[in-house]
């Protein structure tokens, strides 16, 4: 009888716990991660000679174009942008780097941008775990650097951030491409 009562209590408690969960719709701007070197997590498990950690990674959300005019309308020129959607994009360097001729210590930073038609100003900031650019504080900036914008022939539907073969950060969306050179100090 004691086991039956305990079992019934367990089932009833489990039912109420599950009933309180809220199931949400899938995010319209899914979360993604880019690593340098490219494919790092898979490489690590397939190759025992792979490095113990990546050199860098970026965690960001990927909004879609959906036929909209992105730059100048959805993403306003001259305003601080979170470089993606939802939570502010974060970059983590696992070794010291040089960007725009300036040293940046290894660590985790939020990555903002101020887009213009011909150039973007990338901002590395110490304010972590933020949503959007609403709590952006300029006094927490570690680095600002300008990069020219290129126009590409293809329309990129999903906002994309990748590392190229040498570890530069490349942003693609709509017909815009911006590559931010990054030099790594370690091996």
Token couple for 112: 């903002």
Q: What average pLDDT does the segment 13-18 reach?
A: 48
Per-residue confidence (pLDDT) for residue 26, from 0 to 100: 77
Task: Tell whether the torsion through CA atoms of 72, 76, 79 and 81 is positive or negative.
Answer: negative
Mean pLDDT of the chain: 86
Q: How confident is the model at residue 94 (pLDDT cuts 50, 70, 90)?
A: very high
What percent of the chain clears pLDDT 90, i.e. is strictly above it? 66
Per-residue confidence (pLDDT) for residue 9, from 0 to 100: 45
Q: What average pLDDT does the segment 26-32 reach?
A: 83
Alpha carbon of 35 to those of 41, 109, 161: distances in Å? 8, 15, 10
Per-residue confidence (pLDDT) for residue 187, from 0 to 100: 55
User: How far is 97 from 106, CA to CA, in rounded Å?
Assistant: 7
Domain coordinates of the chain in residue numbers? 30-184
Taking 80 as the threshold, does the pLDDT of residue 8 lie above it? no
Q: How confident is the model at residue 11 (pLDDT cuts 50, 70, 90)?
A: very low
- Nearest residue to 107 via CA among 91, 127, 123: 91
Token couple for 144: 């600002």
> For the segment 31-90, what is each residue's pLDDT rounded down to a tens digit?
889 999 877 665 555 566 666 678 999 999 999 999 999 999 999 999 999 999 999 999
User: How far is 15 from 184, CA to CA, in rounded Å?
Assistant: 52
Note whether 151 and 40 are within 8 A (CB): no
């Amino acid at each position: 009888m004691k086991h039956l009562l305990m079992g019934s209590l367990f089932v009833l408690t489990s039912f109420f716990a599950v009933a309180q969960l809220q199931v949400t719709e899938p995010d319209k701007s899914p979360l993604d991660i880019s690593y340098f070197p490219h494919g790092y997590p898979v490489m690590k498990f397939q190759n025992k000679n792979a490095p113990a950690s990546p050199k860098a990674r970026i965690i960001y959300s990927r909004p879609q174009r959906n036929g909209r005019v992105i730059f100048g309308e959805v993403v306003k020129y001259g305003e601080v942008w979170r470089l993606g959607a939802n939570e502010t994009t974060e970059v983590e360097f696992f070794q010291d780097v040089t960007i725009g001729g300036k040293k940046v210590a290894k660590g985790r930073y939020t990555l903002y941008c101020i887009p213009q038609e011909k150039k973007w100003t990338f901002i590395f900031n110490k304010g972590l775990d933020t949503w959007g650019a609403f709590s952006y504080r300029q006094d927490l900036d570690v680095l600002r650097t300008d990069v020219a914008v290129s126009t590409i022939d293809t329309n990129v539907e999903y906002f994309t951030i990748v590392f190229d073969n040498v570890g530069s950060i490349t942003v693609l969306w709509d017909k815009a491409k911006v590559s931010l050179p990054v030099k790594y100090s370690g091996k």
